[in-house]
Amino acid sequence: MMKREFTDILIIGAGPSGMVSAGYLQQHNVQLKVVEKQQFPRFSIGESLIPRCMDNFAEAGLLEIIEKHGFQKKFGARFIKDDKVGEFDFSQKFGEGWDWTWQVPRADFDHVLAKEIQSRGVDIAFETEVTAADFSNENPVVTIQHKDGKQSEIEAKFVIDSSGFGRVLPKLLDLEQASTLESHSSVFTHIEETIRPQGKEGELITFEVLETQVWFWYIPFSNGKTSLGFVAPTEWFDQFDKDPEVSFMQMISKLNYYKGRFDNYPLEFIPKNIKHIAKSVKCLYGDKFALTGNSAEFLDPVFSSGVSFATESGLRAAKLALKELNGEQPDWQADYADYMKEGIAVFSSYVRDWYNGDLQDIFFHKSPNPEFKRQICAVLAGYVWNMDNPFVKKHERIIGAVAKFIQLEN
């Protein structure tokens, strides 16, 4: 017989999604256990946050500790294509909500969150991997493998799967489904910009568009490091050298706005490559489990929505799981799946319209309509559930319609 321990709620994964769930549940005195495959600090991608996640960190009681670490503040975002610039300032956005957030090296950021949760008495088992799950009994039972190779079991009343691209329950319960979005891939690394321009040029997250479907990110951090990455259709990367460092510099040489700026900096690590980024699932919850963050759905990095969705779903799932523990019967379909899908649908429209060029026509228009810009800015800030915003409410058609007017002008 394998050794078995018991907990009320088991969280798989100690990324932002799992830590926001844990923060909320710990504040409500729930008995918790977190199982995390890696040792922290560990690298993770997803370094540019959007303001909506601040609400979620605040509700999980994590904002103060993050604030203490002095991460680079992010007040907006800039998009550049040739000589055209579209810049968004979150303080100008339509409706309520946070005006700023952070750009973070995720190794440090996620470590800050995990240490805080541990310091509040939550048991996080690092270097411990969930390898199997059995939902056929009254309570779910998962098998975990420890660092020394030994296995044991955890029986929980509810499981929140926040395992990111590990996608533990989608894989074990056959819940994976192809995304409806086109397949893109990404290559990225860090550099240390020893001579970084002062002010905006050295602080503002910037996206340089090389071709309609190909773009580059520049994300400076407060620790002197900078994240550089490319996102493009998977086959775009085939034209470059087989050596990842050589090919990365070949891609860098294609930049226009940033031409020459990074040529003399060694890469901090061999560029990492994630192929076929978009992920989906058949359902977001089931009997005694919920999928959150990337374990549930991931669209595309272009609007930096990943951590916001991860924390939004982590918080929601935690609230409903708490109700379930208290003997209530939460409406997982309406209050979790439908709610999350509404937000996902809005961002899916923006991702589609980014890659078909319509949104880029709006972003790079010489004299953008200021009201439209405010409303789009609120979407970019992550406020995608505000039905007062026409760019949320009519997300399926409005971008195409506005772009058509712009295209007729030209």
Residues that bind ligand FAD (CB under 6 A): 12-18, 35-38, 44-49, 129-130, 162-166, 168, 186, 274, 277, 293-295, 298, 301, 304, 306-308, 310
Smallest separation, CB 29 to ligand FAD (Å): 23
Nearer CB in complex with ligand FAD: 57/365? 57
Q: For the range 350-357, what are the long-range contacts, defined as Cβ-Cβ under 8 Å and sequence gap of 24 or more?
A: 350/303, 350/379, 350/395, 350/399, 351/181, 351/299, 351/300, 351/302, 351/303, 352/181, 353/399, 353/400, 353/403, 354/300, 354/302, 354/303, 355/182, 355/184, 355/212, 355/213, 356/212, 357/212, 357/403
Smallest separation, CB 311 to ligand FAD (Å): 8
Nearer CB in complex with ligand FAD: 51/166? 166
Smallest separation, CB 376 to ligand FAD (Å): 18
Nearer CB in complex with ligand FAD: 226/295? 295
Nearer CB in complex with ligand FAD: 165/236? 165
| CA-to-CA separations, 302 to 79, 229, 231, 373, in angstroms, rounded | 11, 11, 8, 17
Instruction: Return the biggest CA–CA distance within the chain.
Output: 73
Nearer CB in complex with ligand FAD: 13/105? 13
CA atoms within a 13 Å half-sphere pointing along the CA-CB vector of 318: 29
Peptide bond into 197 cis (omega under 30): no
CA distance 233 to 196: 30
Structure tokens at 195: 């001579």
Structure tokens at 272: 């990492």
Smallest separation, CB 327 to ligand FAD (Å): 29
Smallest separation, CB 268 to ligand FAD (Å): 16
Closest CA to 302 of 217, 219, 384, 369: 217
| CA-to-CA separations, 184 to 63, 251, 279, in angstroms, rounded | 33, 16, 11
Smallest separation, CB 110 to ligand FAD (Å): 6
Nearer CB in complex with ligand FAD: 215/298? 298
Nearer CB in complex with ligand FAD: 35/351? 35
CA distance 66 to 138: 38
Smallest separation, CB 305 to ligand FAD (Å): 6
Nearer CB in complex with ligand FAD: 23/301? 301
Nearer CB in complex with ligand FAD: 275/393? 275
Closest CA to 384 of 4, 51, 29, 37: 51
Which residues are CB-neighbours of 175 under 8 A, at least 6 positions away?
169, 281, 282, 283, 286, 291
Smallest separation, CB 386 to ligand FAD (Å): 19
